[in-house]
Structure 1
Amino acid sequence: MTRTHQDPTPSPWAPVPQSYSHKRNADETLLTSWRRTGPDSFLIRARWPEVHPFYTTRTAGIDPLLFGETIRQCLPTLSHAAYEVPLGHHLLWETYDYELATDDPAASCATPALTPASDRPHDAPHEIVLHAGCHDVTRRGTRASAATVRIRALQGDRLIGTATTRFSIQTPAVYRRLRGEYADIAHALERRLPPPTPLAAPEAGRSRPYDVVLSPTDIPGRHRLRVDTGHPVLFDHDVDHVPGMLLIDAARQAAHAASPVRPARAVGMTTRFSRYVEFDAPCWVETAPDPAAPDRLLVTARQHDRECFTASVALAAEPAASAPLPLDRCGAA
């Protein structure tokens, strides 16, 4: 039963239907179950793959893209399950900010128990519990039309990352009016440019050229966005614009290319989505020191000389790729 925002009663755990994740491939659905704990607070369980062709799962650190995709799937899930948003409505990402927690085992051991024992997965090092709180929720009638979501992600008692994101929701009719001719997916795909030559995979922090979303240019600190709509993870299904997760990966790859330390991991990012990136024109990705944060890099994506996306990226050296420490264990690796 769908509960309204006025009902504070906690609910039992319920499965997350695949359709709620907005992923066509069931293997890419990360969320497994959810429950309400208050009027606008929730617990969501996720299971991360032990091995994945795109996300990095065999290193000592958390893959920021796997973390980001988990957060992204929470948004449609909560919209449909808790806020009466019908399937077929469009979610528009406005901001996404995250910070991955320290990998210091001593710090992890000092973290107090944050999840009731009955809600924690048992003997499952790849299972995550996300504590989600929705704020500044606006509604049209009974359904939500926008919300800010703050999330803490834990494995057992260990905090592994936090995120804050703002998104809005449009009906299909409003979305078509806003997007005009670009709302036609088939037409948008017909006008797509062929993907240019990828940047060398090690420069982008990738092991396969197929996963590189940047192309080199002759200008230092400038790349062309590389959009391959045949990529099975970034383009799980046909869409009419460049997905937000591809832009986040572009920011991560651009920061890695500019970093003097390699391999490096994007342990924090503050992003702003200001307009859609289309398939029919080049998009340029520029990297420079962030004037507001000297320890970060500022990545900006522009198309038709208009700013579409910005990300302030914090990097840290990638932990050694040895046998990973299970997320629910404390001790030396």
Structure 2
Amino acid sequence: MNMLATAARSPQPGPILTTTVAREYVHRAAVSEVFLTGWERTDHDAFRVTAQWPRFHSFYADDAGIYDPMLLCETIRQTFPLLAHAAYAMPMGYALSWSRFHYSVNPQGLDIREEPAEIELRVRCNDIQLHRTIPARMSMHVEAFRDQQLIAVSETRFGCHAPNVYQRLRRGRHDARTLMKTAGASLADAPASPAQAGRPRLRDVVLSQTDSTDAWQLRIDTAHPIFFDHPLDHAPGMLLLEAVRQCAHATTEATPSIVTGLDITFNQYVEFDAACLLRTFAGVASDQTSTTVSVEAHQNDTVAFSALANVLPL
């Protein structure tokens, strides 16, 4: 009698599948704007976070063949809510507020290659202030690696606010959808040219010209799909970082150039319904090859934020 015999096969290892973290964890509405792909705890208050950068992005793009450092900043910004939610049990609906952010990057590590860049962030959280069991404020030290090579370091501090606390903090300014309708006033003045701002498209220019060569007015376009991919009740931090970058480019007139380092302190929220004036000053950096640009933002007779940007010609 013939018998059909089947040989037992040893299980084959399946492919390692990569996805992004939940968009809710990084406070993004569009999945396409989520750059983080995973995280794990490596020690007490220490973490490994992975990310992938696309070879081309509609906003964080660069014609010089290197990744835009603002892409690095957004990747680190996404790490704040990810770890606050996933590692420290911060409930959904909490708001984050930046108080300080610094980064320094090696431009040689930002070259765009044939494959998307795989980034590893080594994060250590410190100076954590808890309200009951949930962080109310914390700092992070971040080291960014690509192919096991250190390409950037960053320091940041931010606050975490429960919805009722945030409403009191904003003093009636927390209705994002209503407030966004008042932002059009900042678009009334003519924008700076894309060449002045160092941007390829007029829509991405966040500066308007003034009567002074060392001052710009902030433009807030609440319909911008990157800065406002969900309703916000104030100008987001990434828009303010972009404004500093554009001020630095306009001040140095270096084309092309890259902001290899930035240090910014946020003193208060930048509101939609009042003019925000950005004053700039340029000086030679200590390395004698780059320029340091100081930017100070004034709104309602108060310094809303101040920043130093290091600009290197390419």
User: Structure 2-normalised TM-score?
Assistant: 0.87
> 2:309 is aligned with what amino acid?
V
Contact kept? 1:290, 1:312, Cα under 8 Å: no
Q: Aligned residue for 2:195?
A: 202
Q: Secondary structure at the match of 2:25?
A: helix
1:8-157 matched pairs, under 5 angstroms: 16-56=21-61, 59-103=64-108, 125-157=116-148
* Corresponding residue for residue 310 of structure 2: 314
1:180 deviates by 1.4
**Match for 2:299 among 283, 296, 303?**
303
The Cα shift of 1:104 comes to 7.8
Tell me how far 1:15 sits from its aligned partner.
6.3
1:183 aligns with 2:188: no
CA distance in 2, matches of 1:297, 1:202: 18
Q: Deviations over 1:222-279 (max 9, x none)?
A: 1110110000001111100000000000000001001042222111000000001111
Residue of structure 2 equivalent to 1:285:
278
The number of aligned residues is: 290
| CA displacement at 1:186 relative to structure 2 | 2.7
What displacement does 1:184 show? 1.4
SS in 2 for 1:87: coil
Q: Percent identity?
A: 37
- How far apart are the structure 2 equivalents of 1:262 and 1:292? 18
Secondary structure of residue in 1 paired with 2:184: coil
In the TM superposition, residue 71 of structure 1 has moved relative to its aligned partner by 0.5
Q: 3-state SS of the aligned residue for 1:103?
A: helix
Answer whether contact 1:205 1:253 (CA < 8 A) is retained.
yes
CA distance, structure 2, for counterparts of residue 216 and residue 87 of structure 1: 39
Tell me the secondary structure at the aligned position of residue 250 of structure 2. Answer: helix
Give the deviation of 1:305 after TM superposition. Answer: 1.7
Q: Calculate the aligned-residue CA RMSD, in Å.
A: 2.2
Where do 5+ consecutive residues of structure 1 fail to align? 1-12, 109-122, 319-333
* Post-superposition CA distance 1:39-58 (Å, at most 9, x none): 11000010111211100156
| Contact 2:198 2:246 survives alignment (8 Å) | yes
Deviation at 1:79, TM superposition (A): 0.1
Structure 2 unaligned regions, length at least 5: 1-17
Distance 1:15 1:313, change over 3 A: closer
Return closer, same or farther for 1:35/1:57 CA change in 2, 3 Å cut-off: farther
- Tell me how far apart the structure 1 counterparts of residues 295 and 196 of structure 2 sit (CA, whole Å): 16
Contact 2:244 2:307 in 1 (8 A): yes
For residues 45 and 185 of structure 1, the distance between their equivalents in structure 2, rounded to whole angstroms, comes to 31
SS of equivalent to 2:172? helix
Q: TM-score, normalised by structure 1?
A: 0.82
Aligned to 1:183, what secondary structure does the other structure show? coil
Match in the other structure for 1:259: 252
Deviation at 1:291, TM superposition (A): 10
Q: Is 1:248 matched with 2:241?
A: yes
Secondary structure in structure 1 of the residue aligned to 2:239: helix
Q: Please report how far the alpha carbon of residue 101 of structure 1 lies from its aligned counterpart in structure 2 after TM superposition.
A: 1.5
Corresponding position of 1:4 = none
On the 8 A contact 1:41/1:131 being kept in 2, the answer is yes
Q: Cα distance, 1:62 vs. partner? A: 3.1
Between 1 and 2, higher relative CO (CA 8 Å, sep ≥ 6) is seen in 1
Counterpart-to-counterpart distance in 1, 2:109 and 2:182: 48
